[in-house]
Amino acid sequence: MGFLDKLKSGLSRTRKNIVERVETVLLNRTIDDAAIDDIEEILITSDIGAEATAEITGFLRTKVSSGEIHTSRDVNNALRAKMVSLLGTHQPLVIFGEPPFVILVVGVNGVGKTTTIGKLASRFISEGSSVLIAAGDTFRAAAIEQLEIWSERTGADIIKHQSGSDPASVAFDAVEAARARGIDVVIIDTAGRLHTKSPLMDELKKINRVIKKAMPDAPQEILLVVDATTGQNALRQAHIFNEAVGITGIALTKLDGTAKGGIIFAIKKDIGIPVRLIGVGEGVDDLKDFNPAEFAAALFE
């Protein structure tokens, strides 16, 4: 199965929740303001978010009043075009600048941070880059063990300290080691919940500061991993993490099997941070660059 087919399969519940509900509500019906009101309700209840919904329905109302929309097919085409426009341009995760390229990976527990890091390491190594993983979630022993497995599986180097040690020191040592060894990419894991007196966001700010002491231009990417199945919670997490450390990109995991894939529009519209990666399965190749046109094709076709 190719990735587009896998994406279509993964988005099947989201498609039913948005596209098929819109098609049903428009069946044998005049396309007027009342019809657009019903579409608005569908979008709001599909985790697309108030701001993105307002923009989409405003666009549809303009097209209806100007006589450009007459049929449900016209609505479908306009809806698809507007959704692609909302998601913006293709902005994949790209290595740039003097090495090492440092990716600080953040997010709450359970969203798939560790797996995302492993898949990224596999991808970069397959593309010919050397990778060092930093086991910065020192408060969860399983996280360190999981990253060790990914390190062995992919051939990536790993920097780890004892469980419970200072995450910032792990990050610092990783960047220093990467510079000394001529490593291309450093991927730093972080805790999603802390059991110490230090709140999570304060700890992340500290890690960010310490990385800059080792390398002033780093981290070049601060990647927030969010779970698509959590819907509006994913949007709230994006707001909180962005305020704390300034997110540069988002990896949206677990799109396969969720009806809440519409959250991708809310994240882009409300926060304006590009979705760089999407996850549509457990396989190592199931984490892909996010392409808005491809996403829309999988959603509407």
DSSP string, 237-291: HHHHHHHHH---EEEEE--TT-S-TTHHHHHHHHH---EEEEE-SSSTT-EEE--
| Residue 197 confidence (pLDDT) | 59
Identify the band that residue 6 occupies on the pLDDT scale cut at 50, 70 and 90.
Answer: confident
Residues 18-55 pLDDT 10s: 999 999 999 988 999 999 999 999 999 999 999 999 99
Identify the band that residue 195 occupies on the pLDDT scale cut at 50, 70 and 90.
Answer: low
Domains and CATH numbers, the chain: 3-87 (1.20.120.140), 101-300 (3.40.50.300)
pTM: 0.94
* Distance in angstroms (rounded) separating the CA atoms of residues 226 and 240: 12
Asked if residue 206 lies in contact with residue 154, where contact means CB atoms within 8 angstroms, the answer is no
Asked if residue 171 lies in contact with residue 211, where contact means CB atoms within 8 angstroms, the answer is yes
Residues 260-300 pLDDT 10s: 999 999 999 999 999 999 998 888 888 999 999 999 889 98
For residue 186, what are the β-bridge partners? 102, 132
Residues 100-128 pLDDT 10s: 999 999 999 989 999 999 999 999 999 99
For residue 219, cis peptide bond before it (omega within 30 degrees of 0): yes
* Distance in angstroms (rounded) separating the CA atoms of residues 145 and 123: 20
| Residue 66 confidence (pLDDT) | 94
| Average pLDDT, rounded, for the chain | 93
Q: What is the DSSP letter of 52?
A: H
